[in-house]
Amino acid sequence: MDWFTEILHTDLAQKLRVDKVLYEGQTEFQDAKVLSNGRLGKVLVLDNVVQTTLGDEFVYHEMLAHVPLFSHPHPKTVLIIGGGDGGLLEEALKHPSVESVTMVELDGGVVELAKEHFVELNQGAFDDHRTNLIIGDGAKFVAETDERFDVILVDSTDPHGPGEVLFSRGFYADCKRCLTESGILVTQNGVPFLQASELAGSISHFRALFNEGSAYVITVPTYAFGMMALGWATDDKSLRQVDVATLEDRFKKAAFATNYYSPEVHKAAFALPMYIKRIID
């Protein structure tokens, strides 16, 4: 019996049984594997780090997309940085008010893998007429574009290698420049129990640049050893205070089903455990 061992930290690891190797090779930027696991289904692994699984991807993708998109009163334009598997794109396109989603992914090889092996996850989102897929550098895009977006979603790897710039103050400043007046920036910020400095750094940058910088938390089984944090930044403080009744109305009108997100979970996600509050404050 074969096992895949993911070692993100010097003193902790997690193991997944490999029932079958569906793909193994190199993209332009990284080593890539698609594995099959009896409980999690298909698993995407990049540079020996699990990125997503069919079994629990809904937690991450729903909460990264729907919290900002239901917080905003009428989001029309969305920018996704990263997100090569297409899961976040698929969730964003569920919102009827969204007229266009620009997705900038550095590694085109990941997109091609997703189109072949993760169609259950992206469900044709790359072919939606509202999708504008750009294979390129997301940091360069936000530094140079003249476009403006109601919501920017950063679906990045951890701050190592090509992903490191996506946690810098300069990148966040460029994101702010690309937002509309009441725009929202949401970012992937790791597991605070193990990556406290990553979260603290991002929130510090947010608070230097925006009227509000905070985080909300989700529980993704694959991202082990604690809650996962998603960073939140906006100049419109009222957007984090949208009441449950308003969220329920927007959710009902959107008329799509979810497996994790609900208006109540949306509100509760911003109630942070004390150890996380201490990290960001």
Q: Which residues are catalytic?
A: 155
Amino acid identity of residue 74, one-letter, is H
Amino acid identity of residue 38, one-letter, is G
User: How far apart, in whole angstroms, are the C-alpha atoms of residue 46 and residue 219?
Assistant: 21
Which segments of 153-262 does DSSP mark as H helices, in order?
A: 169-178, 196-209, 244-254
Which segments of the chain does DSSP mark as H helices, in order?
A: 57-71, 87-92, 108-117, 119-122, 138-144, 169-178, 196-209, 244-254, 263-268, 274-280
User: How far apart, in whole angstroms, are the C-alpha atoms of residue 201 and residue 209?
Assistant: 13
